[in-house]
Structure formats: structure tokens, C-alpha cells
Amino acid sequence: MDMKATRLRRALDALYYSGAYRVMAPIARGCGAIFMLHRVLPGANGTKANAFDPNGFLAVSPEFLDQAIGRVKKAGFDLVDMDEAVRRLTSGDTARFACFTADDGYRDNRDHALEVFERHNCPLTVYVSSGFAARTTAPWWVMIERLIAARDDLMVEMDGKSQVFSCVSVDEKYHAYEWIAGEFSKASGPVFDKAIEDLCRRYGLNQASLSEELTMDWQELAEFASHPLVTLGAHTVSHPVLANLDKKICAAEITDGADAMAHYLGERPTHFAYPYGHDWAAGQREFDLARKLGFASGVVTRKGVLYPEHSAHMTALPRVSLNGDYQSERYVDVLISGAAFALFNKFRRVNAA
């Protein structure tokens, strides 16, 4: 289950121990980086070996976060918020900078991450899915993980077809999770919604209670946003794969999420993160739409550091993932050098199509 992570760690180790990342840094490191987090939890050590833990990679420990920010500062980056990042990219300011962002609005961003950011006087932007805050929807990936973990079998209906999974062994549980996650990522909005509703009805799941457990509500977000280091950005209403929606519904997901934040928090967000953010989840149509809807920036999960050329693609900015499976200071050094991304992207600086 962790073979991909193992291969990537070996590649990062090769760049680090060979010193190649240092050699490549002058041409690869760019002018800045936007770091991406999801969850920050005490004791988070990445995906658990030999256990069913499909979302373990989404969490890092507070100790690693502290180390990562420290490495970024030591490398000479200015720690800035997204407003300043936009200013620097669009003005041609050459001072290197780093932003830290977190997706979805998890409560642990406040409870365990904020004190780390305070220690470093480091700004944090949290992208909020308004449906999570309103308790009308929930992080389905956690719901599916828990459902599979608790059962020996599972039935899923997708687009009128039923699929039954054995979930006795760890391998079988991963197979079920990967199939469901893959189908959910390809499903249209109505098919996805119906599949979630069927699972909730069949197995007695409560999306509101899961959101209540994991994510901040409107009152908590308002208090969180009052902190001088915190900025809140938009992340749609229901966290859909935007590329699977028709243009009108896609626009509504983006606009309605921002409108809800304006209503409940008193300020309309100017920064946006695309749910999932991979090339199959957001592309040129979504980038253009975010720009037309007035967002100053839009961030994806495509891998990369920032270059001056990104000033022409402000709603398609890449990020550097702080992944729970790679909690090592040496990996942070390699990532901020840009070397790994230069190789991954075949030395193409901008991937915004």
C-alpha cells in the first residue's frame, strides 16, 4: 500500500544524499513556494504500515510543521500571506517568499497548528468548504474510510449499478476504498450525490455529525479569522470535482461558497483553492472561471514552486505538499530547492493547461 511513497522517498533521498538538489537549486528554486497542508495532529507519522489507513498521508505532526517552517526560514524565504504573494508575483518583486496554506477547515488547524504558526510569526491561509461549516456535507473520504474499516463487506450503488466488496483483510479494504474513490472522482455531480445519499441511508451515516467532529463551524471560523496571522479562502460549497460539473453548476459551487463566507464571516474571500486540485479535477475552464469571478489567486495541487512566469496564471498556482509520509527535514530541503519538481515537470516551469 505504501510502495509509491517508498519510491518517492528513495528519489528524494537520492537528490539529497548525492547533493544534486544543491546543484540544481539555482535554476530550479524559482521565486517562491506555496506549501499545502490538510491536517495537523499530534503523533501523526504518515500512513500506518500494514494497517488500513488510506488518509494517513493527509496529516503531519506539529513537531514536523515546526521543523518545516524553520527550514524554510533558514533557506532565506520571507514568510508572507497570500495577499503579499499575489503582490510579489504581479509586481515582479524578486525577494523569495513562502506561503503556508491548509485545505478544508479542519478544527485541528486551529487546535494544533496555529500555535506553531504563532511561534514563527508565520501567516496561514485556510481554504474553507462552506458545506462543511454549515454541516450540510462532510469530508466523504473520511466517511468512506471509517465505513470500510468497521465492516467486513460493503455495497455501493453508482449510476444505477451495485458493487459489493469484501472488506475482511487490509488488502480488500484498500481495494474497496481505491475503487470507490476512483469512481467518485469520475462521477458527475448528480451521480456522486446520489451515491453518497445511498450510502448514508443504507449504513446509517450522518454527514452533519462527521463535519461537526472534524471541521470548524461558522462561529469557530469567525473567531479563527480574527487572528492576525489567519486568512480564510474559498474552497467551494460541497468539495466537488469541478471538472465533472457543467459550467453553470461549477460557477455556482465557487460563487455560493464565497457568498456564504461573506454572509457568515463578514468578508468575501479573495483567494480560492480547487477541491482535489489535480489536472483531472481542475483545468483551464476552472482557472478562467475563478479569474472571471474575481479571485486574486487560485491554487491547485499540481506539484511545483513558483516562477515569475506564474504572474500570467494567477488562478493556477502550484503548491508544495507537506505530506505525512515525508516528514523529514531533508525532504523539505529538497522540495524548496525545486529540484524534484524540475525533474517531475521535465523542467517546464508552468503547468496551467
**pLDDT value of position 83:** 98
Round to whole Å and give the CA distance between 216 and 36: 19
Q: Which domain holds residue 314?
A: 3-137+215-344
Strands (DSSP E) contained in the chain are: 32-37, 39-40, 59-60, 78-79, 97-104, 124-128, 153-158, 161-166, 230-234, 271-273, 297-303, 317-321
Nearest alpha-carbon partner for 30 in 309, 227, 222: 309
Question: Model confidence over 288-331: pLDDT tens digits?
Answer: 999 999 999 999 999 999 999 999 999 999 999 999 999 999 99
The residue-averaged pLDDT of 229-247 equals 97
**Same domain, yes or no, for 243 and 133?**
yes
Confidence of residue 43 (pLDDT cuts 50, 70, 90): very high
Residue 1 has pLDDT above 70, yes or no: no
Confidence of residue 89 (pLDDT cuts 50, 70, 90): very high
Residue 162 has pLDDT above 70, yes or no: yes
**Same domain, yes or no, for 196 and 106?**
no
Question: Model confidence over 163-183: pLDDT tens digits?
Answer: 999 999 999 999 999 999 999
**Same domain, yes or no, for 96 and 123?**
yes
Round to whole Å and give the CA distance between 87 and 296: 10
Round to whole Å and give the CA distance between 221 and 261: 9
Confidence of residue 352 (pLDDT cuts 50, 70, 90): confident
Please report, for residues 8, 27, 334, 346, the alpha-carbon distance to residue 13 in angstroms, rounded to integers and kept in the order given. 8, 20, 9, 19
**Same domain, yes or no, for 279 and 199?**
no
The residue-averaged pLDDT of 125-145 equals 97
Residue 110 has pLDDT above 60, yes or no: yes
Confidence of residue 5 (pLDDT cuts 50, 70, 90): confident
Burial track 35-47 (b if 16+ CB lie within 10 A, e otherwise): bbbbbbbeebebb
- In a domain, residue 352? The reply is no
Please give the tally of structural domains in the chain: 2
**Same domain, yes or no, for 263 and 240?**
yes
**pLDDT value of position 2:** 67
**Same domain, yes or no, for 104 and 220?**
yes
**Same domain, yes or no, for 231 and 174?**
no
Quote the distance between the C-alpha of residue 71 and its chain's center: 21
- In a domain, residue 280? The reply is yes
**Same domain, yes or no, for 277 and 187?**
no
Q: pTM for the complete prediction? A: 0.96
Write down the mean pLDDT value for the chain: 96
- In a domain, residue 122? The reply is yes
**Same domain, yes or no, for 316 and 195?**
no
